[in-house]
């Protein structure tokens, strides 16, 4: 291990290094304004008088419950399926590993509506897997709550897998070797060494996946539709309300903002130091 001088607290050095140059300061301020201003105006424009009434209304309660249910299920699926995939990418050498990693990352850059269309071709009534499923079991996926979760998993999983893979790589294979010399099987090593060491990465990945799921709109509305009670999540409800009653839409947006910021703040203290 190498010794390094303790890093000076951010800002301390700035005192000695002179003023920040305008050429960096100006765009930085502009960026901050761009990010913060719309949130401030949203808060200002929200009709707070009707906030609680709106919150208790039937469609909002149903959409909120569905958003909570689907986003939690999404995180669950990501953890159960995504953790092993991340482990495979980080720890096992096989042909096409680079290709698989690239494929996993594609949904990150895919427009959500395209993701929805792609899901229809796979799981739609006449899709490759969807038609097979319908013929053999009579079940169809689109326009069900299941479809919402599938769409959310599709767009959220890459965040989770890449975050966990990064954590596994950082933790390194060194302790896996130690565990093997102590007689542990790979499964024991995974449970008792690899996973505990990568836990912060798992939690960060889960939060990212959850946030992505909560805000998901394009893929959901394309693949699952917008039916109150079964597929209408908060973003879909906001979109519908916006056309009829923009003021109510602002209230709903505020609700979503409060929920997501609240959860992030709750987790931040314990798990999300870097965020």
Partner 1 sequence: MTGQQIHQETGLHADVTVEGRLHATLHAEPGRVVAVIGPNGAGKSTLLGALAGTVRATGRVEVAGRDWSDLPVRERRLGVVFQDRSLLPHLRARDDVAFGLRARGVPRREADRRALGWLERLGVGDLADRRPAQLSGGQAQRVAIARALAGEPDLLLLDEPFAGLDVGVATGLRIELARHLAAYAGIALLVTHDALDALTLADEVLVLDEGRVVQTGTPREVAARPRSEHVARLVGLNVVREGDELRSFAPSAVAVSPRARSGHDAPATSARHRWAGRVAAVAPHGDAVRLLVSTEDGPELIADVTPASAVELGLEPGAEVWLSVKATAVQTDSMRP
Rounded Cα–Cα distance for residues 39 and 45 (Å): 10
For residues 209 and 85, is the Cβ–Cβ distance under 8 A? no
Task: Return the residues of window 222-261 that contact partner 1 according to CB under 8 A.
Answer: none
191 scored as a contact of partner 1 (CB under 8 A)? no
273 scored as a contact of partner 1 (CB under 8 A)? no
Give the nearer residue to partner 1 in terms of CB position, either 2 or 10: 2
Largest CA distance in the chain: 73
Interaction mask 164-183, partner 1, x per CB under 8 A:
----------xx-xxxxxxx
Count the residues in the chain. 275
188 scored as a contact of partner 1 (CB under 8 A)? yes
105 scored as a contact of partner 1 (CB under 8 A)? no
Rounded Cα–Cα distance for residues 60 and 55 (Å): 6
Give the nearer residue to partner 1 in terms of CB position, either 46 or 189: 189
Give the nearer residue to partner 1 in terms of CB position, either 54 or 176: 176
For residues 167 and 198, is the Cβ–Cβ distance under 8 A? yes
Q: Which part of the chain contacts partner 1 (CB under 8 A), choosing from 80-88, 193-201, 203-211, 251-259?
A: 193-201
Nearest residue to 79 (alpha-carbon basis) of 195, 171, 218: 195
State the SS3 of 132-168: HHHHHHCCCCCCCHHHHHHHHHHHHHHHHHHHHHHHH
Minimum separation from the CB atom of position 184 to partner 1 (A):
4
262 scored as a contact of partner 1 (CB under 8 A)? no
Rounded Cα–Cα distance for residues 101 and 254 (Å): 36
In the complex, the residues that contact partner 1 under the rule CB under 8 A are: 1, 174-175, 177-185, 188, 192-193, 196-197
């Amino acid at each position: 291990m190498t010794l390094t001088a303790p890093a000076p607290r951010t800002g301390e050095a700035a005192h000695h290094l002179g003023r920040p140059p305008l050429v960096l300061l100006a765009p930085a301020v502009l960026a901050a304004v761009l990010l913060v201003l719309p949130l401030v105006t949203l808060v200002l424009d929200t009709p707070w008088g009707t906030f609680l009434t709106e919150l208790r209304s039937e469609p909002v309660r149903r959409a909120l419950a569905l958003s909570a249910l689907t986003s939690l299920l999404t995180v669950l699926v990501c953890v159960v399926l995504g953790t092993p995939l991340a482990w495979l990418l980080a720890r096992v050498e096989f042909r096409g590993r680079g290709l698989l990693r690239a494929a996993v990352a594609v949904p990150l850059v895919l427009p959500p509506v395209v993701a929805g269309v792609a899901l229809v071709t796979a799981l739609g009534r006449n899709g490759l897997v969807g038609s097979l499923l319908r013929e053999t079991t009579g079940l169809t996926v689109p326009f069900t709550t299941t479809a919402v979760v599938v769409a959310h998993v599709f767009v959220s999983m890459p965040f989770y897998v890449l975050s966990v893979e990064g954590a596994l790589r950082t933790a390194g294979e060194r302790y896996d070797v130690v565990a093997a010399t102590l007689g542990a099987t790979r499964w024991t090593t995974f449970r008792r060494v690899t996973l505990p060491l990568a836990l912060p990465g798992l939690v960060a990945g889960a939060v990212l996946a959850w946030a992505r799921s909560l805000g998901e709109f394009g893929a959901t509305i394309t693949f699952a539709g917008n039916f109150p009670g079964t597929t209408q999540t908060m973003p879909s409800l906001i979109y519908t309300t916006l056309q009829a009653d923009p003021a109510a839409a602002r209230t709903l947006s505020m609700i979503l903002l409060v929920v997501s910021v609240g959860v992030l703040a709750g987790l931040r203290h314990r798990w999300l130091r870097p965020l």
